[in-house]
Amino acid sequence: MRRFWKGTRHASECATRLSGSSDLYQQSGRAPYASINFITCHDGFTLQDLVSYHDKHNEANGEGNRDGANDNNSWNCGAEGPSDDPKIRALRERQKRNLVATLFLSAGVPMLCAGDELGHTQHGNNNAYCQDNDTTWFNWELSPQQQGFLEFVRKVSQIWRSSRSFSDGSSSRPPHSRMDIKTWRGSSPMATKCRTTPGTRLRPLPRRPVGRRFDRRGR
C-alpha cells in the first residue's frame, strides 16, 4: 500500500491487498477476516515521517546512521523533513488520509500504530528504540492541523466499527468468488485487463453475509 500511494504500484495490486491478499495467504486456509493489516508499526517510520522523509535520519542513535531499514517505501512529497510550503503540507495531509482510509477500509483487522492519529513525528528516525526523549514522547498539545487529522481517524475508524463490512470472510479472487473491488476510469467501470492504466480509481464494494460467524482462522 505504501508503494501504491507513492505511485510505484498499479491499482490491480492495490485491489488484491484491499481484499485480503489471497495470492499470499489463501493457501494457508486463512480467510481475509483473519488478517491483521497495518501501514506502520513500532519499527520504522511513523505515519507522519512516512510522508515527510525519503531517507532515514538516525544520527542521534550513535551508530553513524547505519542502523534501521534503508528501504522504507516512503515519499517526502517534495521536501525532506519539515516544510513551510502550503502545497507540500496539504499533500502530506492528503497522503496520510489516503493511507489511513486504505488501512481501515481493507478486509481484515486494522492495526494503527499509537501516535499516528496525532501526527507524531520522530524526525525521520526509523529506529528510535534508544530515544527516551521528545523523539518518542507524544505531544498532547495538538495543532489545528493535528486535531483535524485526529477527527478524520476517528470518523474512518467508526465506519469500520459500525459497518463491519470490511471484515468479510471471503476473498475477491475471480473466478471462484464474486468481485468485491471495482476499478474505475473517470466515471466508468473498467475491464480487469485495464487495471494497470495510470489514473485508475478503486471502489471497494465489501459484503458480509448477515449473521455469519467465523472461527479462529477467520473461516
Output the domain CATH number for residue 189: 3.20.20.80
Q: What is the pLDDT of residue 2?
A: 83
Neighbours of 117 (CB within 10 A): 19
DSSP state letters, 51-90: TT-SS---GGGTSTT-SS-S------TTSSS----HHHHH
Task: Provide CB contacts within 8 A for 27, sequence distance 6+.
Answer: none
Confirm whether 167 is domain-assigned. yes
State the cell numbers at 68: 534501521
- Give how far Cα 7 sits from Cα of 192, 199, 200, Å: 19, 10, 11
Residues 60-88 have pLDDT tens digits of 999 999 999 999 999 999 999 999 999 99
Confirm whether 216 is domain-assigned. no
Confirm whether 39 is domain-assigned. yes
Confirm whether 21 is domain-assigned. yes
Q: What domain range includes position 118? A: 2-204
Q: What is the pLDDT of residue 216?
A: 55
Confirm whether 66 is domain-assigned. yes
Q: How high does pLDDT run on average in the chain?
A: 80
Confirm whether 213 is domain-assigned. no
The predicted model gives 125-135 an average pLDDT of 97
Query: For the chain, what is the domain count?
Result: 1
Residue 215: pLDDT band by 50, 70, 90 thresholds?
Answer: low
State the cell numbers at 134: 521528545
Confirm whether 168 is domain-assigned. yes
How far apart (Å, rounded) are the C-alpha atoms in residues 77 and 95? 9
How far apart (Å, rounded) are the C-alpha atoms in residues 55 and 218? 37
- Give how far Cα 49 sits from Cα of 59, 120, 191, Å: 16, 8, 36
Out of 3-17, 23-37, 59-73, 191-205, the most confident range is: 59-73
Confirm whether 193 is domain-assigned. yes
